[in-house]
Every structure is written in C-alpha cells, then in structure tokens.
Structure 1
Amino acid sequence: MGSGLDMSGSSWSPPLFLLAFAVQMLVYHGAGLLFEYWDRTKMLRAFKVRDVDRLGYRELLPRVLFNQFFILLPSMGAVQYFGLAFTGAPHMGLVHFLAAMALMGVGHDIVQYIFHRFVLHRAGLIRKLGHSVHHSTGASKGVSACYMSPADFFLEIVLPYLIPLALVGAGADVAFHLIVASLGALGGLYEHSGYDFAAKAPKERAPGLKGLATAWFFAAITSKAHGEHHRRSNVSFSDGFGSPGICDTIFETRWDLAGGRKG
C-alpha cells in the first residue's frame, strides 16, 4: 500500500497532517489563553453568560494535551499514511474548495450527531466511554472543549473531523486544511468558553431586510446551543456555533425545538 508520507526528496518539508496539527495547536492554545485572559481580567464580562466550572485552566490542560497529542495527532498521521486525506492534488478549484468547505460542515454535523447522541449518550455507555467526564464541565472554560476521556475524544472530535475530510477529496490543498483545522479549534473553544457574543442582541427583530440580516448574524454567532446541551444534556447534540444543525433540526433535538427536555 502506498504511503501518503514522502520524505525522499532532498529538501524535506513536514507532512501536511503535521503542519495542519501544528497550526491547529497554535490556534487552539492561543485562543484558549486569550479566553483565559478575558476570564481573569473580566474584560468581556458583559458577554460572559456561563461561569460554572470549578476546574481551572491548569487542571484542565493536561487531559486536553494528552488527547490532542496521543489521540488526534496519530489519527491524522494514519489517514495521511493510508492515503485517505492530506494527500493528492496540491490545489483545489474554487468551486471544489467552497463545496468541500460546506460539506465539511454537513459531514461533521452528521457524524458527530450519530456518535454523540446514539453512542455517547446511551444510558449504559455514557460512563463506560467517559462522556460523563466532559459533562463534568459546564461549557464555561474555553480549553475544556477537549477535556474528555480518550474514547469520547476519538468518537466526538476525531471522527467527525477526519471522516468528512476523507470524503470531500480535499487532496493536499494546504489552505483548505489549515482553514478547516483552525475553524474547528476556534468553534470548539468559543462554544465552551462561557462567552456569548450574541448576548446583547436586540430582544425584538427590527422590520425589513436589515432586521432579518441582524437576526441571522446574532443567530450565527451565539454559543447558546452548546451551553444548553451541557445544562440539559439531551438537546443540541451537534447544533452549535459553526454547525448547520441539520440533524438536531430533523430529529427535533435542537435546544429551541425540544421544549423542556432535560436529562
């Protein structure tokens, strides 16, 4: 079987999976420190809508780093080695690029919903697979996005990222892979940060197209969905910031469609 890793050239460059991982770590931990700075300085306290976590940044970080370096990194290396992703044509056409970006969102939504709702939230598996570890946090510390058991991290973070990536045919387009990795890191951090930049949205929608555009904008940037998932447990399994929310809408588990469901 041909390997997706080629180190035979005279001028060696890092494998694409390693570059994507490095950029993702820079974004994740850079933004994570920024959220921590805002927490400590209270600079954006007007937008801090959740503040329930008792574990601090230093207590959360070791488990996060273990998952990233010992679960995510080898998985990314494996998909490149077996030629499933991070390898192929060096550039994508514009239409392919945009379509693949949209399909990444759809694919992530579907894969995460399946594993999150039907596997990790099964009564007999939530503790066995360690999803309860993640739910011991309250989505109010950005870095807690990856505070999970290894099995939970693999099913809920790694597979929803790498399965769609293998299917969209992104080849070795560096820009695509770095954008996807960066957006995924930022989205997860924001959802778990306790900040909601839509907190100051108008209570009533203004008339006309401007009012509609404003409402859509605030709906797109809110972090409420994942906060509700941590609070109520059985809503918004893949609905959230940056997600199209397709599955939660179809199955009526979206936080604003599920009524008073809890537990």
Structure 2
Amino acid sequence: MTELNGSLPSWLPLSVLTFAVQMVVYHGVGLWFEWCDRTGRMRAFKMRAVERQSYFELLPRVLINQFFILLPSMMLVQFAGLAFVGAPHLGVLHFLAAMILMGVGHDIVQYAAHRFLLHRPGMIRKLGHSVHHSTGASRAISACYMGYADFFLEIVLPYLLPLIVVAAGADVSFHLLVASLGAIGGLYEHSGYDFSARLPRGVSGLKGRLIDALAAAITSKAHAEHHRRSNVSFSDGFGSPGICDTFFATRWDLVGDRGQPKQNSGQAQNEAAH
C-alpha cells in the first residue's frame, strides 16, 4: 500500500484519506453556510428562503449516504485496482487534462442518470429522488440529502466512473482537490446563495463581457431552477461545463417555464402576427 500511495502509511488507503478530507471540507463549509443563514452575515447574496427542514433534520440522512454508500464505494474501487492506485504523481499535462475530463465525465454521467433515470415518470419516487426534491436547494447541507439509490446514481457514479477513466493514479493532491472542489460546488448550489447577485449589470464593452462571464461562472441559478421546475438543468450548474444540457437544450435559460423552448423576439413577433 505504501508503494501504491507514495508517502501514505500502509494503514491509510488513499480512498479513505480522500473521503476524510472531503468530509472535513463538506461539513466545514456546510457549517459555515449554516452560520451565515443563522446570523444573516451574507443576506445580500441569499436568493432563496432558508430550507424549512433544519440542519439537524437533514444531517442524519446525509451522513448515512456519505459513510455507508460513498465511503464503501470509494474503498471498493481502490480494492479492485480501478482508482486511487498507481503512479504517486501525475505530470502537469496529465493533471490538467484529468481535471478537465473529470468535469466532462461528471456532466455526462450525472445528466444520463439524472434525466433518463431519476426523472423518468414513475421512477422519481422509486429511486428516492423525490426526497431530494422535497428541499428547495436553500440549505447547503441538503446537497447530499436524497434517497439511497438516488445518492448512488447522482453522486457516487458521476464521481467514480470518470475517476476510473482519467487514470489519476495515486496522486494525493489530485484526489484531494477533486473531492474538495466537488463538495464545495454541491454545497454552494444548494445553499440558496448566489455570489453573482451583486455584480453590476448592463456594463458595456470588454469590461461588461468579463463581468457577464464571471457572473455565469459563479451563479447558482441553474440548480435553483432545476429544483423549481424539475425539467431543466439536469447537470448544468456551478462548476459544470453544462455540455449535455446545452446539447439537449434543457439548460434552464433555454427552456420556458412550461417546458417549451424559449423563443427569440423575432419568432414571438412572427407567431403573434399569425
């Protein structure tokens, strides 16, 4: 084990270390968002009302999902030699390419599971996705509040399948970075906060385009719209490339509230004339 994991001691599998760091990040950042909710310190960025279920009502299911589904899955893929094993260090190009491919792979796997399984008629309750949609994406800890099958399909598989494909070896820094960023992204999307809210709008020129690009990169609106409408942004959101939602035209800003594609002003005027 020491040989596979570089400087890690033989009693500490890389999958377990990665999980432990992810838990510190997830619950540390989750508590920070909870503190913000209770103190109102970030009220200027709070776009959605605080979740009706309390932090401690949501926490038990979150912990069960993490410790009894995610952790065993991570350990299993390491035991099988599929991930968390191999070269202790990645080259710079491999590291960067693997980071990009993790985002792309996560987008594809999550979209497929989320749209075609979890939102399939009759399956949303059977697979426990209705548990997640009982929340309003307005309390950070609710990111992992979902049915057990739902958690495996929507959280575990989109993380581990791309991880196997990118062949990241046993590079500790890569695994800790991926797990930590994933935790932070999920918490932010479900926190009810939108850090793009105070950015200036309507600025012209290059500065305006840069501000718009920054706003698009840091907004949490996509997943908020998914919770509100259910038929949009299945994998689009903060930290996601949004490839599948763009390709299948299910991105929140491409779909009207009734599930119809949005019309541009010219189309709307032509139809109104008829």
TM-score by length of structure 2 reads: 0.91
What letter corresponds to residue 222 of structure 1 in structure 2? T
Following the alignment from structure 1 to structure 2, what is the Cα–Cα distance between the partners of residues 88 and 71?
24
Structure 1 match to 2:252: 255
Any gaps of 5 or more consecutive residues in structure 2? 261-274
Structure 1 residue aligned with 2:197, among 183, 193, 199?
199
Structure 2 match to 1:184: 182
Trace 1:233-244 onto structure 2 (pairs within 5 A).
233-244=230-241
Any gaps of 5 or more consecutive residues in structure 1? none
What is the RMSD computed on CA atoms of the aligned residues? 2.0
> What's the CA shift string for 1:55-104, capped at 9, x where partnerless?
00000000000000000000000000001100000000000100000000
> What's the CA shift string for 1:28-52, capped at 9, x where partnerless?
0000000000000001111000115
Structure 2 match to 1:169: 167
Following the alignment from structure 1 to structure 2, what is the Cα–Cα distance between the partners of residues 53 and 210?
36
Structure 2 match to 1:208: 205
> What's the CA shift string for 1:206-256, capped at 9, x where partnerless?
233222111111110000000000000010000000000000000000000
Following the alignment from structure 2 to structure 1, what is the Cα–Cα distance between the partners of residues 17 and 258?
42
Structure 2 match to 1:76: 74
Equivalent pair of 1:32/1:142 in contact (CA under 8 Å): yes
Deviation at 1:4, TM superposition (A): 11
Using the TM superposition, name which of 50-59 and 152-161 deviates more.
50-59
Following the alignment from structure 1 to structure 2, what is the Cα–Cα distance between the partners of residues 182 and 209?
33
Which of structure 1's runs of 4+ aligned residues deviate more than 4 A? 3-7
Equivalent pair of 2:4/2:88 in contact (CA under 8 Å): no
Structure 2 match to 1:55: 53
Structure 2 match to 1:94: 92
Structure number, greater radius of gyration: 2
Following the alignment from structure 1 to structure 2, what is the Cα–Cα distance between the partners of residues 183 and 251?
26
Rate the CA distance shift 1:194–1:5 in 2: closer, same or farther, 3 A: farther
Equivalent pair of 1:4/1:82 in contact (CA under 8 Å): no
Equivalent pair of 2:37/2:50 in contact (CA under 8 Å): no
Following the alignment from structure 1 to structure 2, what is the Cα–Cα distance between the partners of residues 184 and 254?
20
SS in 2 for 1:76: helix
SS in 1 for 2:254: coil
Following the alignment from structure 1 to structure 2, what is the Cα–Cα distance between the partners of residues 207 and 182?
36
Structure 1 match to 2:148: 150
